[in-house]
């Protein structure tokens, strides 16, 4: 319909949900009847998706959206270094660029089966949803119990013949050592992966490491493990630029650590209602003259290797990531 969405996790504390609703000024909330009382104070129109009677009067025709690449697609709230949630504004061009890159990189086909592992309140869900839907593949949405890392998740992967899955290394480490003959592509993201895990789970399938902050539409670089080198964060995906700069924002030599900056189609518009933070993190592009061209200052420490891949070295400020 051309609108942007804000995912709300009903398990979040009421104070956090109230802040997100107030900060985003959403006009419509799609929900279920059991959550109506908790949302009544939001002032938004509540549409209960489990009240099927209310849909009978609506048209079956798809609305004409007129969406353009620069239109807003979604707002994802991250915890932020201060603990106050901050809304990241992601545009349609970023989502489309990501999906096209995924389909090509991971060879997603119409007969592929992609698992929806991430919660809808995290942007990793966007990574899974559009990888599947933009290629005509099937997206499998499991129950909360079936997605529990360990034997439950293993059974789901086996019984549903999942071909593509993205997991944090901690979830991968919890899986029992059993056969997954249908799993063609395994992607890890969110944290460093133990070399032993990589060696175990890369046998008989393609194994990737993905890197990227929310502010670059989830993913900026991808590396495929080939078995003969360490697993880096790889190279930039399509229509994405990576710069590693010194404190004076000039490029550092190959092999020299510096701060990682991201440019390209995946950059967020900025932070909702946070103009000063947007100005601090999204800087004018120092190497391009095109109007509005920017770089995102990640705060991550990295270096280019001689082969062109990028090695992640940690945080410039040693920030600890907790719950997104």
| Domain at 146, CATH number | 3.40.50.12780
In a domain? residue 187: yes
Contacts of 28 (CB under 8 A, 6+ apart): 3, 44, 45, 46, 47
Q: How many CA atoms lie within 13 A of 202 on its CB side?
A: 20
318, pLDDT greater than 90: no
Token output for 203:
């046998």
Q: Average pLDDT in the 246-258 region?
A: 97
Instruction: Check residue 55 and give its pLDDT.
Output: 78
Residue 115 lies in a domain: yes
Q: How many domains does the chain have?
A: 1
Q: Is residue 169 part of a domain?
A: yes
Instruction: Report the 10 Å Cβ neighbour count for 282.
Output: 19
Q: Which domain holds residue 128?
A: 67-315
Confidence class for position 324, pLDDT limits 50, 70, 90: very low
Domain-located, residue 7: no
* 207 located within any domain: yes
pLDDT in tens, 165-214: 999 999 999 999 999 999 999 999 999 999 999 999 999 999 999 999 99
Q: What is the pTM of this model?
A: 0.93
Residue 58 CB contacts under 8 Å (≥ 6 apart), including other chains: none
- Do the domain assignments include residue 51? no
Asked, for residue 202, whether it belongs to a domain, the answer is yes
309 within a domain of the structure (yes/no): yes
Element (H, E) at 311: strand 310-315
């Amino acid at each position: 319909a051309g609108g942007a969405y804000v995912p709300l996790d009903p398990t979040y504390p009421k104070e956090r949900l109230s802040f997100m609703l107030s900060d985003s000024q959403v006009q419509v909330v799609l929900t279920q009847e059991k959550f109506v009382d908790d949302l009544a104070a939001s002032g938004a129109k509540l549409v209960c998706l489990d009240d099927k009677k209310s849909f009978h009067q609506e048209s079956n025709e798809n609305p004409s959206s007129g969406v353009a690449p620069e239109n807003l697609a979604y707002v994802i709230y991250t915890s932020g270094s201060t603990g106050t949630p901050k809304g990241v504004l992601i545009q349609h061009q970023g989502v489309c660029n990501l999906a096209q890159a995924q389909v090509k990189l991971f060879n997603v086909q119409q007969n592929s089966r992609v698992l929806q592992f991430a919660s809808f309140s995290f942007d990793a869900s966007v990574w899974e949803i559009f990888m599947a839907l933009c290629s005509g593949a099937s997206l499998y949405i499991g129950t909360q119990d079936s997605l529990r890392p360990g034997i439950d998740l293993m059974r789901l992967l086996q019984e549903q013949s999942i071909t593509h899955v993205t997991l944090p290394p901690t979830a991968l480490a919890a899986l029992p050592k059993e056969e997954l003959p249908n799993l063609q592509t395994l992607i890890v993201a969110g944290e460093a992966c133990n070399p032993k895990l990589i060696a175990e789970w890369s046998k008989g399938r393609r194994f990737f490491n993905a890197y990227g902050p929310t502010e670059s539409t989830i993913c900026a670089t991808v590396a495929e493990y080939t078995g003969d080198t360490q697993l880096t964060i790889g190279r930039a995906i399509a229509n994405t630029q990576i710069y590693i700069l010194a404190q004076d924002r000039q490029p550092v030599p190959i092999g020299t650590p510096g701060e990682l900056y991201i440019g390209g189609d995946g950059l967020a518009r900025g932070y909702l209602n946070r103009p000063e933070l947007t100005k601090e993190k999204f800087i004018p592009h120092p190497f391009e003259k095109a109007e509005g061209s920017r770089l995102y200052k990640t705060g991550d420490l990295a270096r280019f290797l001689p082969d062109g891949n990028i090695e992640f070295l940690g945080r410039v400020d040693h920030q600890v990531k907790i719950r997104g």
